[in-house]
Structure 1
Amino acid sequence: MDLLDEIEHRAFRYFWEQADPNTGLINDRAGNFGPDDYTVASTAATGYGLAALPIAVERGWIGHDQAASRARVTLEFSLTLAHQHGWIVHFVDKHTGERVWQSEFSTIDTVLLIVGALAAGQYFAARVPEIAGLSDQLYRRLDWWWVLTNDGTQPDKRMVSQGTRLESGFITNNWWDYSEAVMLYLLGLGAPEKPLPHPSWEAFQRPLEKYSGFEWLRAGPIFIHQMPYGYFNLRNQRDRLGFDYWLSSTNAMKINRRFCQYRAKKRKTYAEGFWGLNASDGPDGYKPYGVAGDPEDGTVSPTGAIASVTFTPDLALSAAQAMYEKDGGALWGKYGFTNAFNVDRNWHSPDVIGIDLGMALLAIENYRSGLIWKLMSGFDGTARALDAAGFRENVGAGETRVFSTR
């Protein structure tokens, strides 16, 4: 068995099987070892499901017509979901699309839906142009200035709000520091109508630090350093501020593993060589696990390690093999690896989570073929975004530094 291929295939099966065929909406999570009664879909998981369709066609897992039909159903229904100025509710009933849990209208989760839609639109455009048109509708109806200025009440604000709630209005927090919102700002800069202003790219903080000799933009859970780069290939590029985000992420993978190595005497999980501190399930609930100062109890995320494959392939592949062999395959279920496990507590999650499988799926395919990167590089909005942020080829002595003005 080709383990990498099997991980990728099982991740795709999640998005295919956990979608309601009438709406295309995909469960936020699912049981990995048996039946479950989950019915709540997330817009983010649904976006990864759209991006998964081109991969599945290219891999021969489903036919082109099957994939195009699913994409069309998903996009048509997504356009009917509750939204505010284009920003869609985060959690909904997968069968009806009704808002659940008094969920917020989330900017980042809307972006995760739309960037997946755009990748699918690029792929199917030649034979099924309606799919590209539906994706474009979702993108064009986003009112970036509404979430930038809180509906004009803060006209000088340059950082995007995290979203709104029906019950209380705009969420107080903005996307103010280095995070997965890199992709939100890029989509905003590349918008075809009323894009974000260039200063919005410069506005969020970039905490440059060193750990064990590695320079990085500090952010705890490993997914932050992976999520934007499943769609945007920023390898060997710097923005106009002088930051190399790809190098920062590469170092973040090494730091995550090194931190676990340093803690091996205190945690059995790390002593067995496992790593991948991530926002994940844990024995005491869902937590944003990370390095040096973030929550940490010996819980690691298999997809956190695996999604590093585009940055540190040797580390990712060896981690995947070790996890597959752990306890005779106890971590391995119908959709691949469990969401998280903890050797110290003799615990593993019964579930998988859609966005984590999505990040791993895209990372593996980009490592193997670069498919999603190629689709997004061919999208007009990507060129507009990279130009607005001032990205240029990273050359010269600065190549080994995350920040350089050379």
Structure 2
Amino acid sequence: MKLIQFILLSVFTILALGESVDEKFLDEIEKNGFLYFWEQADPITGQVKDRAFANGSKDDRHVSSIAATGFGLSVLVIAHNRNYFNQSLIEKRVMNTLKFIWENLEGHKGFFYHFVDMKTGKRVWNCELSSIDTAILINGVLTSKEYFVNNEFIKETAMNIYRRVDYKWMLNGQKVLSMGWKPEEGFLKDSWNRYCELMMLVLQAIGSPSHPIPAEYWHSFARDKYKYENYTFITVKSGAPLFVHQFSHAWYDFQGKHDNYADYFHNSVVATKAHKLWMTTEMAQKFPLYDNLFWGVTASDTINGYIAWGGPPIQGPIDGSVVPCATAGSIPFLPFETIAVLKYLKTKYPRSWHRYGFIDAFNPDKNWYNQDVIGIDVGISVLMVENFRTRFIWNTFMKNTHVLKSMEMAGFKRNSGEKKYFKELEFFLIIISVIIINYIN
């Protein structure tokens, strides 16, 4: 009897210590990530640098990504809630950011240019007016609104920014939204006509308080299924980076819900499992470093420049690199496997970790460690870690009445017999403990 009690006590002690270690590690990811969005944003305009040196050293790059700013607003909310920094200064930064977006950020019809000068807000690189990057920015704007409920300026400015977006115009006469527009050329040829990270954009458009698109347009994009071994999931049949299964989920809570086609949270679980299997079997035949503790690629820097790589099916020239935000962005979908990877990477490859957390990508076989971090990759890591830990961004963002309305109009319903999310390891140990106790009795 005493031996059994000792074993049970040991098991739960190990579990508690393991949770403590994981919490400390996950908090480190969030704190370091917050530093990026605090230090690499212009303090006056709030616009976040697209990329920066991983060690935090100064450089003369001045281009902001509006998507990085959208992630940044959400990270500021997390930092304020967790008291990572002076809360008054964080709130002031959010106010400055929203004021600049409303008054100075260059755009057209409420949409904004993908890349802008972080000090002036003016378009750079002859880039497109980006519908999806505007959607990510709006996600951050609405997260701020729902969190700072006692700040009338934030609430009013956030809604003004959202109301100004003319989603109907971005349809360009079609039933699917265009990927963007340029003043020199008009609308881009490509549109959001197939499953990917688009869900947040379409739902924003359906729920718009001023320029809504018809709810039936939710059914207008293709949902192609792909089978890899025993895993079948909706994806881009030609291959897709893992982020397509992550970005919309950073804000929209799809867990325990389904529309006429799928449970998209479960779809991302399956897509992540398939990605892990593909990398640790098929890709491991070419690159032996890939194993259960070394896997995960998504759009990132490579030794040869930026590439949108992923799979299955394979997209891009996989070369043995690993991209930490690929697993970090899937923590809510496959928590224990992904956290184990990240802890291993930090311990085994200390050069992969710097001031802002993990570098964007690295390849030990080629002795290549990226000197940069990329704003959106830091952002997805922080948001998904927080959602796994507390559901905070989900719970905050989903308070928005337009968000709730859009999901209802798109036909989302609760899964029958839904159970609350539980941690698989704890559940397993509880079952084992019950069996042992019953056996004793």
TM-score by shorter chain over 0.5? yes
SS class of match (1:300): coil
Q: Aligned-pair distance for 1:37?
A: 2.3
| Equivalent residue number for residue 99 of structure 1 | 123
Q: Aligned-pair distance for 1:66?
A: 1.4
Return the alpha-carbon distance in structure 2 between the equivalents of residues 268 and 35 of structure 1.
Answer: 37
| Superposition pairs of residues 238-249 of structure 1, within 5 angstroms | 238-239=258-259, 241-249=260-268
| Equivalent residue number for residue 423 of structure 2 | none
Structure 1 unaligned segments of length 5 or more: list them. 398-406
Return the alpha-carbon distance in structure 1 between the equivalents of residues 193 and 344 of structure 2.
Answer: 37
Which residue, out of 166, 170, 181, partners 1:143? 166
Which residue identity does 2:141 align to in structure 1?
A
| Equivalent residue number for residue 320 of structure 1 | 342
Return the alpha-carbon distance in structure 2 between the equivalents of residues 306 and 315 of structure 1.
Answer: 10
Which residue identity does 2:257 align to in structure 1?
Q
SS class of match (2:284): coil
Return the alpha-carbon distance in structure 1 between the equivalents of residues 328 and 289 of structure 2.
Answer: 16
**Higher helix residue share:** 2
Return the alpha-carbon distance in structure 2 between the equivalents of residues 31 and 108 of structure 1.
Answer: 26
Return the alpha-carbon distance in structure 2 between the equivalents of residues 191 and 57 of structure 1.
Answer: 27
Q: In 2, are the aligned partners of 1:189 and 1:198 still within 8 Å (CA)? A: yes
Return the alpha-carbon distance in structure 1 between the equivalents of residues 296 and 241 of structure 2.
Answer: 9
Residues 1:374 and 2:400 are matched in the alignment: no
Structure 2 unaligned segments of length 5 or more: list them. 1-20, 419-441
Return the alpha-carbon distance in structure 2 between the equivalents of residues 87 and 121 of structure 1.
Answer: 19
Deviations 1:180-231 (A, max 9, x none): 1110001111111231112211011111122121121123111110100010
Return the alpha-carbon distance in structure 1 between the equivalents of residues 374 and 164 of structure 2.
Answer: 28
Which residue, out of 258, 275, 287, partners 2:295? 275
Which residue, out of 173, 176, 180, partners 1:159? 176
Q: In 2, are the aligned partners of 1:301 and 1:339 still within 8 Å (CA)? A: yes
Percentage identity across paired residues of the two chains: 37
Return the alpha-carbon distance in structure 2 between the equivalents of residues 37 and 255 of structure 1.
Answer: 40
| Superposition pairs of residues 25-36 of structure 1, within 5 angstroms | 25-33=47-55, 34-36=57-59
| Equivalent residue number for residue 223 of structure 1 | 243
SS class of match (1:111): helix
Return the alpha-carbon distance in structure 1 between the equivalents of residues 273 and 297 of structure 2.
Answer: 12
Q: In 2, are the aligned partners of 1:32 and 1:338 still within 8 Å (CA)? A: yes
Q: Aligned-pair distance for 1:271?
A: 4.5
Return the alpha-carbon distance in structure 2 between the equivalents of residues 326 and 227 of structure 1.
Answer: 28
Return the alpha-carbon distance in structure 1 between the equivalents of residues 211 and 122 of structure 2.
Answer: 30
Which residue identity does 2:261 align to in structure 1?
G
Q: In 1, are the aligned partners of 2:293 and 2:340 still within 8 Å (CA)? A: no
Q: Aligned-pair distance for 1:272?
A: 7.6
| Equivalent residue number for residue 407 of structure 2 | 386
Which residue identity does 1:392 align to in structure 2?
K
Q: Aligned-pair distance for 1:268?
A: 3.6
Return the alpha-carbon distance in structure 2 between the equivalents of residues 56 and 3 of structure 1.
Answer: 16
Residues 1:233 and 2:253 are matched in the alignment: yes
Indicate the larger mover: 380-389 or 33-42.
33-42
Residues 1:360 and 2:381 are matched in the alignment: yes
Which residue, out of 330, 341, 363, partners 1:342? 363
Deviations 1:361-392 (A, max 9, x none): 11011111111111111101111111111000
Return the alpha-carbon distance in structure 2 between the equivalents of residues 3 and 95 of structure 1.
Answer: 34
SS class of match (1:264): helix
Deviations 1:222-265 (A, max 9, x none): 111010001011111111x2311111100111111111111213
Q: In 1, are the aligned partners of 2:164 and 2:210 still within 8 Å (CA)? A: no
Q: In 2, are the aligned partners of 1:25 and 1:43 still within 8 Å (CA)? A: yes
Return the alpha-carbon distance in structure 2 between the equivalents of residues 15 and 234 of structure 1.
Answer: 26
Residues 1:51 and 2:71 are matched in the alignment: no
| Equivalent residue number for residue 6 of structure 2 | none
| Equivalent residue number for residue 400 of structure 1 | none
Q: Aligned-pair distance for 1:326?
A: 2.2
Residues 1:122 and 2:142 are matched in the alignment: no
Which residue identity does 1:359 align to in structure 2?
I
Return the alpha-carbon distance in structure 1 between the equivalents of residues 133 and 211 of structure 2.
Answer: 20
Q: TM-score of the superposition, structure 2-length normalised?
A: 0.85
Return the alpha-carbon distance in structure 1 between the equivalents of residues 157 and 83 of structure 2.
Answer: 25
CA-based RMSD of the aligned residues comes to 1.5
Return the alpha-carbon distance in structure 2 between the equivalents of residues 306 and 6 of structure 1.
Answer: 13
Which residue identity does 1:284 align to in structure 2?
N
Indicate the larger mover: 13-22 or 64-73.
64-73
Q: In 2, are the aligned partners of 1:46 and 1:113 still within 8 Å (CA)? A: yes
SS class of match (2:305): coil
Q: In 2, are the aligned partners of 1:265 and 1:271 still within 8 Å (CA)? A: no
Deviations 1:294-318 (A, max 9, x none): 1122222101111211111001110
Q: Aligned-pair distance for 1:358?
A: 0.7
| Equivalent residue number for residue 251 of structure 1 | 270
| Equivalent residue number for residue 175 of structure 1 | 192
Which residue, out of 63, 86, 95, partners 1:63? 86
| Equivalent residue number for residue 17 of structure 1 | 39
Indicate the larger mover: 193-202 or 70-79.
193-202
SS class of match (2:351): coil
Q: TM-score of the superposition, structure 1-length normalised?
A: 0.93
